[in-house]
Amino acid sequence: MIYSEIIYSEMERKVIELLQGDIPLTPRPYKRLARELGVTEEEVVACIKKLCDERIIKRLAGILRHRKAGYNFNAMVVWQVSAGQADDKGGILASFPEVSHCYRRQTPKDFPYQLFTMVHAKNKEHFSGILKNMRSRSGLQNYLVLESIEELKKSSMIYFA
């Protein structure tokens, strides 16, 4: 398969570049971007919408720095679930506010856990309560807790610099 190179306008490149960094926590975060670009805020918003509509930008979301927010106990909980139950059970587990990631993975035959949830808690006791509720609401009982012991990286991809 041959991929053609996408040609971006100067404004598109700048918007993508600026969106890769920290966006200010203000009611109108694109106002600063517009000022930096020398355009109106409406033009920045229209450019972002166009890039999203064209699927150039596939996701625009905030990143929680969970440790800075006081969530110091973090663990990946992996669950054994049948293929037919994965979507239903995954929906239940993903509904917990302490779960930042929930996804199904194909795993080796000797690792029977296919559903992965990243759980953030204030401490181990808080985590134990969350896990108990997750088990109760999902009905899943076969799981493994992979506790985070150190955060090695917390950065996003950089496409334009």
Whether residue 77 is found in the same domain as residue 106? yes
Each residue's pLDDT tens digit, 108-141: 989 999 999 999 999 999 999 999 999 999 999 9
pLDDT band of residue 161 (cuts 50, 70, 90) is low
Question: What does the pLDDT read at residue 37?
Answer: 87
Question: Does the residue 90 lie in any domain?
Answer: yes
The dihedral of CA 70, 76, 78, 83: what is its sign? Answer: positive
DSSP secondary-structure letter at 123? S
**Are 32 and 83 in the same domain?**
no
Residues 83 and 131 in one domain: yes
E-assigned strand segments in 92-134: 99-104, 115-121
- Looking at every residue in the chain, the average pLDDT score rounds to 87
